[in-house]
A and B are shown apart, each in its own frame.
Chain A
Amino acid sequence: MQHVERRDFLRLAGVAGVTFTAGLFPHRQASAQAGNDFHFVQFSDTHWGYSGPANPDAEHTLEKAVATVNGLPKQPDFIVFTGDLTHTTDDGKERRNRMKRFREIVSALQVKDVRFMPGEHDASLDKGEAFKEFFGDTHYTFDHKGVHFIVLDNVSDPAAKLGDEQLAWLAADLKQRKPDDKIIVFTHRPLFDLKPDWDWTTADGAKAIELLMPYQNVVVFYGHIHQENHHTTGHIEHHAAKSLIFPLPAPGSQPKRTPLPYDAAMPGLGTRDVDVGQKIAVVELPVTKKG
């Protein structure tokens, strides 16, 4: 039954995309919370305002992805943007222009429950000031159908730190959870040391992982590295999303972390549909739905 639904979902999504099924919530009994399945869509690293050879289509890519997600036959319960909404600029006025335009474009999403968090391009030059004007808090929690979601900000400090204050806030929030509660963390940068010499880390990310460790059902979704990546620290899974601007090379696959060459078919770009049930299934969605 579960399996048929899964296949149906893929077919309805109309994609030949890769499915990654993770063993999320392995410590939950199968009987618990049955019928509470839902899905959400993750956008990441839209870098609105970027222009350059790494994506000559930069002015339209985000709109195309919005249309593709609006075309999903089964609309998600909510949509999350895991940072780098805009491409950085030294000019505070221009930063706000970019945020304004970004917000206009994504307001075309049919789903109105949309959650945002900053990336370093949005928030590191002004400690999140402009971001907060447009999108509210940079770290917060919410609950949905039995899952506790925690949004962490590892970019408003330009040194890529969560900081002691936020870590204390996280510890206090976790104290209210039971060890087998379902917890999903959203953040921009990897919390673990994915590739320290490319700065694909969070300076004090290990402290957040340590706080999360006692909880048996935790999964992290993040962005920043502009590619799909799946990693495990202990029993905690970390899934990085593709970007909507340009793909970056796999960790260590080339000497420098320069963008991969542009390909008009945009195979390295996209969003993802995340199905949350007893298990989690990640379906990568292309920018433009293919016929």
Chain B
Amino acid sequence: MKRRVLVALLLGSAVGGVVRLEAAEQPGEIKISAKKFEYHPNKVTVKAGQPVVLVLTSEDRIHGFKMPDFGLRTDIVPGQETRVTFTPDKPGNFSFFCDVFCGDGHEDMEGTLVVEA
């Protein structure tokens, strides 16, 4: 079981980095688009222990994506896909939010990652 997760993680990151067409078929891929001042979707549900690829895009300007509980942060630059691969290892509700100031409403730009056991 443990070994399968590891293989999936390796596969996920290799595919994510190199072959985009195949990456789209990865079951763990989740698209999130950002714009002032929201993420869509802003609630994402995943399974603990299963690797996830977040595919982040922006519709208007640079935004941030920060999820301190998993030590993740990246810029989301318009016109490109930003891929973040990780394995949520603990169940619970975890917030992510924009950490690149983007205007009047920036403080409300956030979402929740629900990790099911």
Contact = CB atoms under 8 A, between A and B. Distances in A.
Contact of B95 (A124, A197, A203): A197
B116 interface: no
B103 A199 contact: no
Contact of A160 (B69, B99, B103, B110): B99
B97 A199 contact: yes
28 contacts: A87-B104, A88-B101, A88-B103, A88-B104, A88-B106, A89-B104, A90-B103, A90-B104, A120-B101, A125-B101, A125-B103, A155-B101, A158-B62, A158-B100, A158-B101, A158-B102, A159-B64, A159-B75, A160-B99, A160-B101, A197-B69, A197-B97, A199-B66, A199-B99, A203-B99, A256-B110, A257-B107, A258-B108
A243 to B, nearest CB: 13
Nearest to A89: B104
A71 interface: no
Interface string A220-261: 000000000000000000000000000000000000111000
B101 A197 contact: no
A69 B61 CA distance: 41
Nearest to B98: A199
B59 to A, nearest CB: 16
A197 B92 CA distance: 15
Nearest to B66: A199
Contact of B101 (A89, A124, A257, A258): A124
Interface in A121-143: 124-125
B90 to A, nearest CB: 15
B68 interface: yes
A108 to B, nearest CB: 27
Interface residues of B, number: 18
Nearest to B63: A158
A89 B66 CA distance: 23
Contacts of B104: 87-90
A196 B68 contact: yes
Interface string B39-80: 000000000000000000000001010101100000100000
Contacts of A89: 103-104
B92 to A, nearest CB: 12
A4 B78 CA distance: 62
Contact of A159 (B100, B107, B110): B100
B35 to A, nearest CB: 14
Contacts of A158: 62, 100-102
Given A88-B106, A90-B103, A159-B75, 12 more contacts: A88-B101, A89-B103, A90-B104, A124-B101, A125-B101, A158-B62, A158-B100, A159-B64, A160-B101, A197-B68, A197-B95, A199-B99
Interface in B81-117: 95, 97, 99-104, 106-108, 110
Contacts of A159: 64, 75, 99-100
Contacts of B106: 88
Contacts of B68: 196-197
A258 B66 CA distance: 18
Contacts of A124: 101
A148 to B, nearest CB: 30
Contacts of B101: 88, 120, 124-125, 155, 158, 160
A199 B102 CA distance: 14
Contacts of B95: 197
Nearest to B95: A197
Interface string A146-161: 0000000001001110
Interface in A192-234: 196-197, 199, 203
